[in-house]
Structure 1
Amino acid sequence: MASPTEFVPTSSLGDALVILGAAGIVIPLFARFRITPVVGFILAGVLVGPFGLGSMAAQQPWLSYITISDPGRLAPFAEFGIILLLFSIGLELSFQRLWQMRKTIFRIGPMELFGGGALIALVLLMLGNTLPTALALGLALALSSTALVLRIADTRTPVGRAALGTLLFEDIALVPIIFLLGAMGRGDQAADLGDFLRTLGMGTLVIVALLGIGRFALPRLFAQAARTKSPELFLAASLLVVIVAALVTGAVGLSPIVGALVAGLLIAETDFHTEVEEIIEPFKGLALGVFLLTVGMSLDLGVVWERLWEILLAVTLVLSAKALVTGALLRLNGYRTATATEAGILLASPSETTLIVLASAVTVNLINAEAAQFWQIVTALGLTVTPLLAILGRWLARRVDRAGAVESHPEDSALHRTLIIGGGRVGKLVAEMLRTHDKPYLMIDANADQVRESRQEGFRIAYGDAARSNALARFGADQASAVILTMDQPVAVQRMVRQLRRAYPELPIIARARDASHAAALYRAGASHAVPETLEASLQLSEAVLVDLGVPMGPVIASIHEKRDEFRAQIMEEGELDEKPQLKSSSLREQTGG
């Protein structure tokens, strides 16, 4: 057994150290300067990769602790990050929304991909490349980055929806593109039409099977996981579904990301999609960071410096051609000038799947290894500048068409509705009153059986654990007209009030309180209104007895409202003052019958 001084970290532990260290430095550092961590991860990859400090690890062994000499070891984790990203995209969609986007996916998407590819191929032909090589490079470089664009764009906006539609078509078209390159190939690896048709047929059968089985099995699987109240089991079920779907589609020759997208779509149709999205978010972010690290590691700074002007010219060519084609097509298909401009520039960079297509083109001898390395560097640089393209696109869109700024707001499906936390007796009563007055609402409850029963009774309700830090943000708390906390859990309610007030300073927060003392604590935590059960019970008893004694209803209601306002003022005063809190609470309890 080795002594502590002889300990040498395994490659996997060393890689984990670098990845976690990069995440721990990059994310807070770039967030401090309000810069997307995408650029930071790529730069970190350049620094710790085989062409950066990793190239000196042989001379300086201590560098092996903080560098990665073989980026290939990270490839499975990078692929998993992209799979989780497509899975989360599916969670944000639905089959109905996908059908509404069919024009963008199956009309604009093909024109954008093949139009951009044709323009790039034409320029490459003029530069002396052969037709097969130019077509292969054109198709590879015409793909846009799903991983980065959809992390930057809000898919609820016109720009985000346009980007999502074209990117979905590109992901679907990846397998046909690879087969097309195989058919054009000049070697033993060339593919034939029969292989393609077999893959297409098997892929169709697998997707149909996933849709059929998933609609039946997934609601039951996640309902059972929800009943256990175990986040670990919920996470395990989520990862199981996405990995099985990706493996099955990959086994028949389709891209694993197609299976991940289908899995996300299926879960989006269940009551548990928001909870699943919340749980996998940290894993998706870290795995995507690994992918960005591998992009940075592929940049050979020596080659970049030697061929700097050629590389810059190639990057400019690709970005300009794609922005021009995409923007023009979106404008011709009815999008506003501002939207078309911003989306065109955002989709201008190459894709992570460009690297896959380039590798396939090398395999079938359409391009040589040296040319592939050159275009891989162009792709990596294009990915690096994607966040800058997003900023440029927004700025230019405002300049081109200032009226287009109206379109940048998200869809209003979650706008100005009241969020009711808790689907029990009190929550249902509040929902009924809102429904009576035609006010939009959404109840949220973490009990799967309660969600099912309430939905059967006609209530609008979603499954979700509102106590999670970002859960209410996913339900649109930033656009809500109010949040009402109806749970009979004093400590949890007080904690949620404090979190909500910190995150949304202007949001009206109405909370159910157990008694006057609890109401005062809720006011201190930031509640707009806190309603003690004991106070309301006392007022209702008073109202009933006064009416029975013959007092007219009008004066009774007026006096009840006056007394309620008086008690509320006293409770709010108690919440604001620190002096003798126990004495004031006792006094209030005596007055309200608590």
Structure 2
Amino acid sequence: MSLLVYAAIFLTATVIAVPLCRKFGLASVLGYLLAGMLLGPWGLRLIQDGEGVLHVAEFGVVMLLFVIGLELQPSRLRAMRKAVFGLGLTQVAVTSIIVGVIAWLMGLSTHAAIVVGFALSLSSTPLVLQLLAERHQLNTQHGRSAFAILLFQDIAVMPMLALLPLMAARASEQTVVESLLVAGKGIAVLLLMVFGGRYVLRPLLRTVAETRAKEAFTAAALLVVVATGLLFNAVGMSMALGAFVAGVLLAESEYRHELEADIEPFKGLLLGLFFVSVGMTANLGSLLDHPGRITALVVGLMAVKFTLMWLIARFMGYAADACRGMAFSLPQGGEFAFVLFAIAVSHGIMAQSLADTLVIVVTITMIASPLLMRLQSFVELKMGGAEPRAFDEIDSTDSRVIIAGFGRFGQIVGRVLRMRRISFTALESDVAQVDFVRRFGNKVYYGDASRRDVLQAAGAERAEILVLAMDDIDLSVRTAALVRRHFPHLKLFARARNRQHAIRLLDLDVRYVIRETYLSSLDMAQHALEALGLSRADAIESISRFDSHDQRTLERQREARDDEQKLIQSSQLAARELEQLFETDTATSHAPAPAAAQSDATGS
């Protein structure tokens, strides 16, 4: 069968199965899995080589981890370290031990029980992230925590892949030496990637970008993913880890958002193909031969993981709704279990029959996950929660201005525009805020401005200005990047929560950035100077000089944002400069200026 025929079959199945699932309120992932079962050897038998398709489709997971890496700037990774290495490590360790002990009590050898315990502690990164994204839960507390756990799981797979040869039933001295050699190669490749990311990848992308050839940059983005994946694979490590490392190294580059935009279409299609192939490779024969045992294993595994996740999250101080959210999101098995079981069989750690049974168990748990997420909505409703509210239909599409975020800041902008009879469309992603503002007669739409379809519905293609006034810093930056990519004609005016937020917005070439407390602080400082005896003209002059100095300091800190030592030096230099700047004024007045410099590093 030719490649084009395969492509036509996959596309047809996707076009039919996915919309049907979405029509009945089910996740698109379930449509992919069911389509795979229908196409595979246990369905219509249109495609027999499910394993071969799976190997190709696994590249979708590789691209997913590259995009995840792009989102993980070092500063953000440091901020997530508690969740990643606290919650994530605890979940993997506790679940591996409990499931491994259960497997050992059921008669498995010690090594087989260790592999089974670890493999079944993992969840499906692409499945969970896609389900959370479809339900608009990625930015919730349980969504961010689930992402942190999945990230640690993906990292934890790599050491296990290196340990499997050491656990083989007949592990010889040569096997140990070879495993240590593989580990040494892996460390060398990681160091090479760190060096190459700064001195090879970024200059390469800069050179390609200067040609202004869109297709060449897309090819370069794909080449980065493929080449890094192959490099890691060549030394016996995961292609997914290689792509993830490459993404992290490029997370602070100026091309991060463009890379993500170019990779996104390929990632989506290949992830769909991955889930189709998972459905095709499911050995339904095992289910037909031992339905009771398979059902018991599926229910038991999901019940154990659900309970442990809830207990771990509760023990670590998370709110009850966040605990439930994580428990409902992560009880399934993951795609890396297929890889671990295959390697364990090849090394004689477990029997092929056991691996076949566990593969069908993991597959069924993945199929059940979208249904379990639906059950979560019902549970939340019964426990006093509410069904996730659908975004409003926007009937105003010809406004000159779009205000994203209609809190205190956005409302003042809106009132001024209304005073001048300038049309605007207000978007707010907080349901409670929408309902509160509407009670006072304001017209605001419930919608997430960081989504392209919502901005299109709000008339972004015809508007002139977008005012970023939302509280959430990551949401603000993500919206700015989206607008820069898809609506470049829009003039961006942004509110920044602090200096770090302002720097991230300036990196996206936002036209105008104002720190939310900056102007009010300067106004207060001016009145304080006047109260201390300065004339109004002298007070205004002092504020003007401070403002000019602060803008220069912000630019210096922007250049040094990745180097903490340089950032500290920049703040200290700014304090000395400010002392010198007002030295004469301080000598002739009673208004001390140097203390104002203390906020340069962390202030408004």
Q: Distance in 2 between matches of 1:253 and 1:308?
A: 37
TM-score (norm 2): 0.62
Residues 1:49 and 1:481: Cα distance change in structure 2 (over 3 Å): closer
Contact 1:46-1:297 at 8 Å conserved across structures: yes
Q: Which amino acid aligns with 1:416?
A: G
CA distance in 2, matches of 1:122, 1:256: 31
Query: Matches of 2:11 and 2:490 in 1, distance apart?
Result: 40
User: Which of 335, 341, 347 is 1:358 aligned to?
Assistant: 341
2:33 corresponding residue in structure 1: 42
Q: Number of aligned residue pairs: give it.
A: 418
Cα deviation digits, residues 153-209 of structure 1 (max 9, x gap): 244322122112111121112132233333232136898554444433332332232
Q: Does 1:163 align with 2:146?
A: yes
User: How do residues 323-342 of structure 1 correspond to structure 2 at under 5 angstroms?
Assistant: 323-342=306-325
- C-alpha distance in structure 2 between counterparts of 1:510 and 1:215, whole Å: 32
Inter-CA distance 347–80: structure 2 relative to 1 (3 Å threshold): same
Query: Which of 150, 159, 170 in structure 2 is aligned with 1:176?
Result: 159
* Inter-CA distance 400–32: structure 2 relative to 1 (3 Å threshold): closer
Shift of 1:347: 0.9
- Show CA shifts across 1:392-439 (max 9, x none): 345435656859999xxxxxxx96399xxxxxxxxxxx9xx99xxxxx
Change (3 A) 1:256 1:397: farther
Counterpart of 1:368 (choices 347, 351, 358) is: 351
Give the equivalent residue in structure 1 for 2:23.
32
Among candidates 110, 120, 124, match of residue 103 of structure 2: 124
Partners of 1:74 and 1:294 within 8 A in 2: yes
Q: Separation in 1 of the partners of 2:188 and 2:406?
A: 41
Q: What per-residue deviation string (whole Å, max 9, x for no partner) do you get for residues 19-76 of structure 1?
A: 222222233333333422211111111111122221xxxxxxxxxxxx1111122133
User: Cα gap change, 1:248/1:417 in structure 2, threshold over 3 Å: closer, same or farther?
Assistant: farther
Deviations 1:138-157 (A, max 9, x none): 11111111121122224432
CA contact (8 A) 1:182 1:190 kept: no
1:246 to 207, 212, 229: 229
Structure 1 contact 182–189 (Cα < 8 Å) conserved? no
What amino acid is the match of 1:13? L
Question: CA contact under 8 A between 1:341 and 1:396: conserved in structure 2?
Answer: no
**1:38/1:177 CA distance change after superposition, 3 Å:** same
- Which residue pairs with 1:146 in the alignment? 125
**Per-residue deviation, 1:480:** 10
Cα distance between partner residues in 2 of 1:139 and 1:478? 45
CA distance in 2, matches of 1:246, 1:400: 45
Q: Secondary structure at the match of 1:53?
A: coil
Distance 2:490 2:268 in 1: 34
CA RMSD of aligned residues (A): 3.8
1:53 aligns with 2:44: yes
Rounded Cα–Cα distance in structure 2 between residues aligned with 1:191 and 1:385: 43
Q: Deviations over 1:209-268 (max 9, x none)?
A: 222322344444334444444331221011011111111222222211111112222333
Q: What CA distance in whole angstroms lies between the structure 2 residues aligned with 1:357 and 1:90? A: 23
Name the residue aligned to 1:485: 464
Asked whether the 8 Å contact 1:50–1:68 carries over to 2, the reply is yes
Q: Give the secondary structure class of the aligned counterpart of 2:317.
A: coil
Q: Distance in 1 between matches of 2:168 and 2:94?
A: 22
Pairwise CA distance, 1:334:
2.2
**Greater gyration radius:** 1
Q: What's 1:473 paired with?
A: 451
Structure 1 equivalent of residue 326 of structure 2 = 343
Q: Distance in 1 between matches of 2:289 and 2:174?
A: 36
Tell me the secondary structure at the aligned position of residue 365 of structure 1.
Answer: coil
Aligned partner of 2:63 in structure 1 is 84
Point out where structure 1 has 5 or more consecutive residues left out of the alignment: 1-8, 55-66, 407-413, 419-429, 435-469, 488-499, 513-594
Q: How does 1:397-546 map to 2 (within 5 A)?
A: 397=380, 402=385, 416=405, 473=451, 477=455, 485=464
Change (3 A) 1:27 1:403: closer
Instruction: Indicate the residue corresponding to 2:79 in structure 1.
Output: 100
Aligned partners of 2:194, 2:456: CA distance in 1, in Å? 34
CA distance in structure 2 between the aligned counterparts of 1:254 and 1:126, rounded to whole angstroms? 32
CA contact (8 A) 1:189 1:363 kept: no
> Which secondary structure state, in structure 1, belongs to the residue aligned with residue 42 of structure 2?
coil
- Whole-angstrom distance in 2 between the partners of 1:510 and 1:73: 45
**Distance in 1 between the 2:289 and 2:100 partners?**
25
Tell me: CA distance 1:369–1:273, structure 2 relative to 1, closer, same or farther (3 Å).
Answer: same
State the Cα deviation string for residues 260-319 of structure 1 (Å, max 9, x = none): 112222333123322222222221111111111111112233331221111111011111
Q: Is the 8 A contact 1:415 1:480 kept in 2?
A: no
Q: Is the 8 A contact 1:83 1:260 kept in 2?
A: yes
* Cα distance in 2 for residues equivalent to 1:477 and 1:72: 41
Structure 1 SS opposite 2:313: helix
State the distance in 1 between where 2:459 and 2:12 align: 41
Instruction: Tell me if structure 2 keeps the 8 A contact 1:45–1:296.
Output: yes
Is residue 2:185 matched to residue 1:202?
yes
| Cα distance, 1:217–1:364 mapped onto 2, change above 3 Å | closer
Partner of 1:379: 362
| Residues 33 and 404 (structure 1), Cα distance of their counterparts in 2 relative to 1, 3 Å cut | closer
CA distance in 1, matches of 2:387, 2:26: 25
Match of 2:53 in 1: 74
1:385-400 counterparts in 2 under 5 A?
385-397=368-380
Aligned mates of 1:399, 1:93 — CA distance in 2: 36
Structure 2 CA distance, aligned partners of 1:246 and 1:36? 29
Q: Which amino acid aligns with 1:146?
A: T
The residue type paired with residue 101 of structure 2 is L
Structure 1 stretch 169-178 or stretch 80-89: which is displaced more?
A: 169-178
* Aligned: 1:21 with 2:21: no
User: CA 1:132/1:73 → structure 2, altered by over 3 Å: closer, same or farther?
Assistant: closer
Is the contact made by 1:182 and 1:192 (CA closer than 8 Å) also made in structure 2?
Answer: yes
Change (3 A) 1:135 1:479: farther
Report which stretch shifted further, 361-370 or 173-182: 173-182
Distance 1:304 1:208 in 2: 46
Q: 2-side partners of 1:167 and 1:84: how far apart?
A: 15
Counterpart position of 1:320: 303
Distance 1:475 1:24 in 2: 20
Q: Which amino acid aligns with 2:13?
A: A
The equivalent of 2:439 in structure 1 is none
Residue 558 of structure 1 corresponds to: none
1:127–1:188: structure 2 CA closer, same or farther, 3 Å change rule?
closer
The answer to whether the Cα contact below 8 Å between 1:235 and 1:280 also exists between their aligned partners in 2 is yes
Q: Distance in 2 between matches of 1:232 and 1:191?
A: 47
Q: 1:274 to 1:136 in 2, by over 3 A?
A: same
Aligned to 2:205: 222
Give how far 1:389 is off: 2.5
Change in Cα spacing, 1:510 to 1:212, as seen in structure 2 (3 Å) is closer
Q: Work out whether residues 404 and 449 of structure 2, in 8 Å CA contact, stay in contact via their aligned partners in 1.
A: no
Tell me if structure 1 keeps the 8 A contact 2:377–2:387: no
Q: 1:163 to 1:195 in 2, by over 3 A?
A: farther
- Mapped to 2, the partners of 1:397 and 1:253 lie a distance apart of 45
TM-score normalised by L of structure 1: 0.63
- Deviation digits for residues 311-342 of structure 1, max 9, x if unmatched? 11101111111112222112222221211221
Q: Percent identity?
A: 33
Conserved in 2, the CA contact under 8 Å of 1:337 and 1:400? no
